[in-house]
């Protein structure tokens, strides 16, 4: 038969070649060509099928045959032909692809058989096939070949693939690839796929314009799949290759699989309506404990599936076409072979899937797509999973796996992958939520809470199904580990659900049940393989459940021994030892013995063992351990117990110090535990040591407070020099939510330590830093009120300590009170509300020291101290801050208004005191000069000042400040001497100070709006008066009272001290403004030198020209010259005097009135240039 087919094939080829040289008549050429082409293709297919059945033909010969026939047909433009053939268009390529795939399977099986020294199943099937009778009809229609192909595929899927999967030898894989390349099998297969479907298995679903090493034939397909039938046909021939190739090769099919899915986006409606997977995952009535117990008791998989899936879908199975776990409509056919689980669903007669036309596509397409479509939400931007877009992204990824489970609900890989997907979603939600949400915001967001609960439930149930389907010990161990971690995650007191203050974990019966489940699964995982991580978690769970000290510490010790280089179990072991010692270990002999078994130092171990033996001997000789507590406190037994406790405690501290040495300095868990233990021991300097240890996480060389903590990544450092000492490494990474939780916990404890040590400076810096922080602003927003409450309470405690013992280390009373004033400036009229809220957040009960009266009393006390110390510059800065902070002082509360009034009056009185001190010295010097000159008459008007101290301090009673104490100070003792004192130029040693006071008086005149105290009176002494200038003998008739506001009086007084002569207010203002402009332009830090007494005559001459000031027009720019100054417009007629007497001839010709008020000057029109001041 083969000889006959070959003869026909050769005849057809030669006859078509002859037609190129001897064309036939036009009418019969088309018909004969079509018939010849059909016959040629059918002959080639039949010949290759027969040749494929010959077992004596080698793989190389069969590959070469298919390649050469393909090339021959391609030359004729017939490789994709066959429309009129029985197999349809592309019949030869379909046959060639099937044969090439089976040859590839045969090659793999033969290599495995050679390595295993056994006869391969494919050879066995081939021998059985040789014994079968091969009829002519079987060869013609290909039925025998198809039956043989099915046998080979099934045989390979059951045996050959598992052998290859179980083989870990790289030599076998390299040998297989080398054999395939030598035979040209891959290239032949790729060329056939490309010609038939436009699919390049080497490069995916690419355009036909640029293919790698593949020939483009005349009728090559463009890969444009238009119908479901065409897609199903493509998928049918693609599936064997997809099943056999690796994951990397499978990625090449991404585009073609996506193109096929466009025609199969979802399973049929009947399947979706009766979806048992979603029902199983979200059924609130399902008893998970029963499912778990069935699996742990090794119940049959069919029984587990029937309970899990039938229980969730049976309520829906009432109509035609519904999915039901029964023999009539829906039966699960289980085919489990060496870890590969497949289940098939058979539907009723009325369903769309009865004919199984597309069943193969639905059963495999979604599984393959799920393998290559592995987009993870962790690759997106932070917080993505919290959004609606992130929720939809996760649901789309889960949809493919769910679709696969509808048809293959016993596929272990799909259940396990779905569990990991949901677990990743929950993990990302909690991590991102801990950074962006507070606990209050988290608990008020019902959608996020529901998503987390749903994700955890789905993860548990997917893992339960994975546990039921797991075959190998490694699979079972992995599932138990994940289940233990999922249960353990719900137990943790971490952000964003809990904030270690108001929201904490409630340890009820449900909480204990979850603990027991997590404990159970970790024990199961430990039974499969001994790993330190399982012992570590078992120790933590036993500690949570309140198990005895011996059990907990033994688990931690096992973890240390399993991984001696890991710092995590070492830290946990000794942290638990110290915890037991601090709780009950001082007098409990049983705990001391258990803790002593796990000493860090061998020397301490020996010491403790000897002391315990000594105590035990004393107990035995005394009649038993029960008599031990009855001994006197100073007995020898109690001293020995105390010695044992101290040795064990120091041993634990030494172990924790080892955990933070060198490159482990940022292992913050050990630092916090070390600080906690030192604080619990509470010996001398232990609190300071605890603050210093924990302060490493919140300090730097440049800042008093900064968050100096980093997430523990668990990466192993390479090329580390170990030396002689053992080097520990961090092997357990830290989640973001755990890091945020640790940060919050450490901050609360650090603030407590600062509060107890009265570290006001650190608390102030922490408050300002957290309030301005941007990195942790969302997750630490509530900590701002906590630290503010601690800060306020610490200030009040420091003030109380000043009042009692008059001393606080590194602080002064004014410094502490100034900080309280700064808090008032930050919060203004809402200070009392802020104090109340912050104290509540910090867990502090407000006492009398933080009542409303006390809070405002601290601010008045601060202003009083500034006045007592005569801090004019500080009071100037205080009033300037009040002006900027409170734009409308009249609208503030009464207590705030009293503070503003006190600040303004204190500033005024300090200016008066400073001016009085200079004026008293100047008056004494002037009196001495006049007496030496024999009483020379004054030749010009002279300013006279009189202060009434009682009126000046009459408002002090409003703030409960002692006036007598203030009057006895050095700064205010000159006030009582200022009774009608003539004012002249200050003495040389006081002129610089007078210049500064002039600047401050000008700022007071410009900015202060009152209220002002009474008691400051100015008079003018007429020129030519014959009275002796010795106060207070000046007659009243020669004095004229000056009616000016208090700021103008102080400005005129200071100007006279600087220049030695009086002038109008407008001239004094212009002088100060010019000096401010010069300073702003040149950066001069002080006013120009004052005019001396010898320059009075020159000033008098300049006054005749209309001004008594030195002009600076030569250095003023053109822009400033164009702006008219309102202060230059002097109104000489607006003068109000105390007496009704006129003022004849007081001014020379051309000189304006000395006492003309600058009524045109408004606060809003004043020059806004400020003098520098020091903010204490």
Strands (E), 819-952: 942-947
Mean pLDDT throughout 853-857? Answer: 92
Q: CA-to-CA distance for 1120 and 1117, rounded, in angstroms?
A: 6
CA 374, 379, 385, 390 torsion: positive or negative? Answer: negative
Judge whether residue 33 has pLDDT over 90.
Answer: no
Crossing angle for the helix pair 602-622 and 636-658, nearest 10 degrees?
Answer: 160
CA 1045, 1050, 1051, 1055 torsion: positive or negative? Answer: positive
pLDDT of residue 622: 61
Crossing angle for the helix pair 446-469 and 473-489, nearest 10 degrees?
Answer: 160
Tokens of 775: 């990195």
Mean pLDDT throughout 955-959? Answer: 60
Mean pLDDT throughout 1078-1088? Answer: 61
Q: How confident is the model at residue 626 (pLDDT cuts 50, 70, 90)?
A: very low
Q: How confident is the model at residue 145 (pLDDT cuts 50, 70, 90)?
A: very low
pLDDT of residue 1048: 93
pLDDT of residue 904: 92
Q: Between residues 1024 and 358, which one has the greater pLDDT?
A: 358
By DSSP bridging, strand 1016-1021 and strand 340-345 are unpaired
Mean pLDDT throughout 290-301? Answer: 93
Judge whether residue 423 has pLDDT over 90.
Answer: yes
Helix (H) or strand (E) holding 281: helix 276-282
Q: Name beta bridge partners: 947.
A: 1016
pLDDT of residue 293: 94
Q: How confident is the model at residue 224 (pLDDT cuts 50, 70, 90)?
A: low
Put residue 779 in one of left, alpha, beta given phi > 0 → left and psi -120 to 50 → alpha: alpha
By DSSP bridging, strand 340-345 and strand 332-337 are antiparallel
What single DSSP character describes residue 808?
A: B
CA 360 to mean position of chain CA atoms: 47
List alpha helices for 117-183, DSSP H.
121-131, 136-141, 143-155, 161-166, 170-183
Would you list the domain boundaries of the chain?
Answer: 2-261, 269-316+323-463, 938-1165
Strands (E), 813-906: none
The Cα diameter of the chain in Å comes to: 159
Kindly report, residue by residue over 571-623, the tens digit of the pLDDT: 999 999 999 999 887 888 899 999 999 999 999 999 999 998 888 887 777 65
pLDDT of residue 91: 83
Kindly report, residue by residue over 805-842, the tens digit of the pLDDT: 888 888 899 999 999 999 999 998 899 999 999 999 99
Q: CA-to-CA distance for 1176 and 1173, rounded, in angstroms?
A: 9
By DSSP bridging, strand 981-983 and strand 1039-1041 are unpaired
Q: CA-to-CA distance for 445 and 271, rounded, in angstroms?
A: 34
Q: CA-to-CA distance for 821 and 799, rounded, in angstroms?
A: 13
Kindly report, residue by residue over 390-414, the tens digit of the pLDDT: 999 999 999 999 999 999 999 999 9
Q: CA-to-CA distance for 668 and 696, rounded, in angstroms?
A: 9
Q: How confident is the model at residue 163 (pLDDT cuts 50, 70, 90)?
A: very low
Q: How confident is the model at residue 256 (pLDDT cuts 50, 70, 90)?
A: confident
Judge whether residue 355 has pLDDT over 70.
Answer: no
Give the lowest-confidence range in 35-49, 65-79, 296-310, 352-366: 352-366
pLDDT of residue 212: 54
Contact (CB, 8 A) for 752 and 790? yes
pLDDT of residue 213: 67
Strand order in the sheet with 1039-1041: 981-983, 942-947, 1016-1021, 1039-1041
Q: CA-to-CA distance for 152 and 146, rounded, in angstroms?
A: 10
pLDDT of residue 1158: 41
Burial class of 350 by CB neighbour count within 10 A (0 to 12, 13 to 18, 19+): exposed
DSSP code per residue over 768-797: HHHHH-SSSTTTTHHHHHHHHHHHHHHHHH
Q: How confident is the model at residue 938 (pLDDT cuts 50, 70, 90)?
A: low
Q: CA-to-CA distance for 808 and 813, rounded, in angstroms?
A: 8
Tokens of 253: 């099919």
Q: Name beta bridge partners: 335.
A: 342
Judge whether residue 731 has pLDDT over 60.
Answer: yes
What whole-number percentage of the chain has pLDDT above 70? 72
Q: Between residues 525 and 1150, which one has the greater pLDDT?
A: 525
Tokens of 360: 């193969």
What whole-number percentage of the chain has pLDDT above 90? 42
Q: What are phi and psi of 172, to 5 degrees?
A: -65, -45
Q: How confident is the model at residue 446 (pLDDT cuts 50, 70, 90)?
A: very high
Mean pLDDT throughout 270-275? Answer: 87
Judge whether residue 142 has pLDDT over 70.
Answer: no
pLDDT of residue 682: 92
Mean of the per-residue pLDDT values of the chain? 77
Tokens of 251: 């990625």
Contact (CB, 8 A) for 693 and 678? yes
Rg (CA), the chain: 49
Q: CA-to-CA distance for 92 and 80, rounded, in angstroms?
A: 7
Q: CA-to-CA distance for 971 and 948, rounded, in angstroms?
A: 16
Q: Between residues 1084 and 252, which one has the greater pLDDT?
A: 252
Judge whether residue 1080 has pLDDT over 70.
Answer: yes
């Amino acid at each position: 038969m083969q000889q006959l087919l070959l003869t026909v094939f050769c005849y057809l080829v030669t006859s078509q070649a002859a037609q190129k040289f001897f064309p036939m008549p036009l009418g019969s050429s088309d018909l004969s060509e079509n018939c010849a082409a059909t016959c040629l293709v059918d002959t080639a297919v039949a010949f290759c099928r027969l040749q494929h059945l010959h077992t004596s033909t080698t793989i190389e010969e069969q590959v070469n045959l298919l390649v050469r026939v393909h090339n021959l047909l391609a030359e004729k433009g017939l490789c994709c032909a066959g429309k009129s053939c029985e197999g349809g268009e592309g019949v030869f390529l379909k046959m060639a692809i099937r044969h090439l795939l089976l040859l590839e399977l045969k090659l793999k099986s033969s290599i495995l058989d050679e390595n295993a020294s056994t006869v391969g199943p494919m050879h066995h099937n081939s021998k059985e096939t040789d014994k079968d009778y091969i009829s002519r009809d079987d060869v013609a229609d290909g039925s025998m070949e198809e039956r043989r192909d099915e046998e080979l595929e099934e045989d390979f899927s059951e045996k050959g693939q598992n052998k290859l999967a179980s083989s870990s030898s790289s030599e076998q894989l390299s040998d297989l690839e080398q054999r395939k390349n030598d035979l040209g099998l891959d290239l032949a297969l790729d060329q056939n796929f490309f010609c038939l479907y436009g699919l390049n298995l080497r490069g995916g679903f690419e355009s036909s314009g640029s293919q790698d090493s593949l020939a483009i034939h005349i009728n090559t397909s463009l890969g444009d799949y238009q119908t479901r039938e065409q897609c199903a046909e493509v998928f049918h021939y693609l599936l064997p290759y997809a099943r056999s190739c690796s994951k990397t090769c499978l990625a090449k099919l991404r585009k073609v699989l996506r193109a096929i899915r466009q025609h199969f986006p979802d399973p049929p409606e009947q399947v979706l309506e009766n979806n048992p997977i979603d029902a199983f995952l979200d059924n609130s009535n399902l008893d998970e404990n029963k499912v778990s117990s069935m699996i742990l008791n090794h119940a049959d998989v069919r029984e587990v599936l029937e309970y899990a899936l039938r229980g969730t879908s049976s309520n829906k199975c009432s109509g035609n076409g519904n999915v039901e776990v029964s023999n009539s409509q829906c039966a699960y056919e289980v085919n489990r072979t060496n870890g590969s689980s497949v289940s098939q669903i058979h539907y009723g007669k009325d369903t769309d899937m009865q004919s199984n036309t597309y069943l193969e596509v639905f059963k495999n397409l979604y599984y393959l797509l799920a393998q290559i479509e592995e987009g993870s939400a962790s690759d997106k931007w932070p917080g993505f999973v919290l959004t609606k877009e992130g929720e939809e992204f996760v649901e789309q990824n889960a949809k493919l796996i769910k679709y696969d489970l509808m048809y293959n609900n016993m596929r272990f890989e799909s259940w396990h992958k779905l569990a990991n997907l949901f677990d990743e979603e929950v993990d990302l939600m909690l991590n991102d939520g801990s950074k962006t949400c507070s606990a209050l915001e988290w608990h008020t967001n019902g959608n996020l809470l529901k998503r987390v609960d749903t994700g955890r439930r789905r993860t548990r149930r997917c893992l339960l199904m994975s546990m039921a389907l797991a075959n190998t010990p490694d699979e079972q161990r992995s599932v138990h580990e994940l289940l233990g971690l999922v249960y353990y995650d719900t137990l943790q007191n971490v952000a964003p659900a809990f904030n270690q203050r108001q929201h904490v974990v409630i340890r009820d019966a449900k909480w204990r049940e979850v603990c027991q489940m997590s404990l159970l699964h970790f024990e199961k995982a430990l039974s499969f393989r001994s790993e330190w991580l399982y012992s570590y978690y078992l120790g933590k769970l036993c500690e949570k459940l309140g198990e005895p000290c011996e059990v907990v510490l033994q688990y931690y010790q096992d973890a240390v021994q399993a991984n001696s280089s890991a710092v995590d179990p070492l830290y946990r072991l000794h942290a638990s030892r110290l915890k037991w010692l601090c709780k009950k270990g001082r007098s409990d002999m049983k705990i001391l013995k258990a803790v002593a078994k796990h000493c860090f130092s061998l020397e301490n171990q020996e010491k403790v063992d000897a002391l315990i033996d000594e105590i035990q001997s004393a107990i035995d000789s005394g009649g038993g351990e029960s008599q031990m507590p009855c001994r006197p406190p100073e007995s020898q037994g109690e001293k020995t117990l105390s010695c044992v406790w101290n040795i064990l405690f120091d041993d634990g501290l030494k172990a924790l110090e080892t955990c933070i040495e060198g490159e482990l300095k940022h292992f913050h868990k050990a630092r916090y535990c070390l600080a906690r233990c030192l604080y619990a021991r509470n010996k001398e300097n232990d609190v300071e040591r605890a603050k210093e240890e924990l302060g490493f996480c919140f300090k730097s060389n440049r800042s008093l407070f900064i968050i100096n903590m980093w997430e523990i990544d668990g990466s192993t450092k390479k090329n580390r020099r170990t030396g002689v000492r053992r080097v520990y490494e961090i092997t357990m990474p830290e989640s973001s939510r755990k890091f945020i939780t640790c940060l919050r916990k450490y901050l609360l404890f650090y603030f407590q330590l600062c509060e107890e040590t009265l570290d006001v400076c650190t608390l102030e810096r922490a408050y300002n830093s957290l309030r301005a922080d941007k990195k942790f602003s969302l997750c630490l927003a509530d900590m701002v009120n906590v630290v503010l409450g601690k800060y306020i309470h610490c200030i009040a405690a420091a003030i109380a300590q000043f009042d009692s013992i008059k001393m606080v280390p590194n602080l002064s009373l004014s410094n502490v009170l100034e900080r309280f004033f700064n808090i008032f400036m930050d919060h203004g009229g809402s200070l009392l509300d802020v104090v109340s809220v912050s104290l509540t957040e910090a867990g502090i009960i407000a006492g009398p020291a933080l009542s409303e009266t006390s809070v405002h009393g601290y601010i008045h006390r601060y202003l009083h101290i500034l006045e007592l110390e005569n801090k004019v510059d500080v009071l100037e800065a205080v009033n300037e801050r009040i002006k900027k902070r409170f734009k409308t002082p009249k609208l503030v509360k009464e207590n705030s208004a009293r503070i503003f009034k006190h600040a303004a009056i204190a500033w005024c009185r300090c200016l008066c005191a400073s001016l009085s001190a200079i004026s008293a010295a100047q008056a004494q010097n002037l009196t001495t000069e006049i007496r030496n000159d024999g009483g020379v008459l004054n030749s010009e008007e002279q300013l006279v000042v009189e202060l009434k101290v009682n009126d000046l301090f009459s408002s002090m009673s409003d703030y409960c400040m002692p006036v007598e104490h203030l009057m006895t100070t050095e700064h205010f003792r000159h006030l009582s001497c200022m009774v009608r004192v003539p004012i002249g130029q200050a003495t040389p040693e006081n002129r610089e100070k007078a210049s500064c006071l002039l600047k401050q008086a000008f700022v007071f005149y410009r900015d202060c709006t009152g209220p002002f105290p009474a008691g400051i009176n100015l008079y003018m002494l007429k020129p030519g008066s014959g009275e002796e200038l010795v106060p207070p003998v000046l007659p009243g008739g020669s004095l004229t009272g000056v009616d000016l506001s208090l700021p103008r009086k102080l400005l005129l007084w200071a100007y006279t001290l600087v220049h030695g002569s009086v002038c109008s207010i407008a001239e004094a203002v212009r002088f100060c403004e010019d000096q401010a402009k010069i300073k702003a332009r040149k950066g001069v830090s002080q006013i120009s030198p004052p005019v001396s007494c010898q320059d009075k005559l020159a000033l008098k001459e300049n006054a005749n020209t209309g001004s008594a000031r030195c002009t600076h027009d030569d250095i003023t720019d053109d822009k400033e010259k164009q702006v008219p100054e309102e202060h230059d417009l002097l109104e000489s007629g607006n003068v109000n005097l105390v007496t009704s007497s006129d003022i004849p001839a007081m001014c020379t010709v051309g000189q304006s009135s000395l006492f003309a008020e600058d009524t045109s000057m408004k606060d809003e029109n004043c020059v806004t240039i400020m003098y520098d001041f020091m903010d204490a």
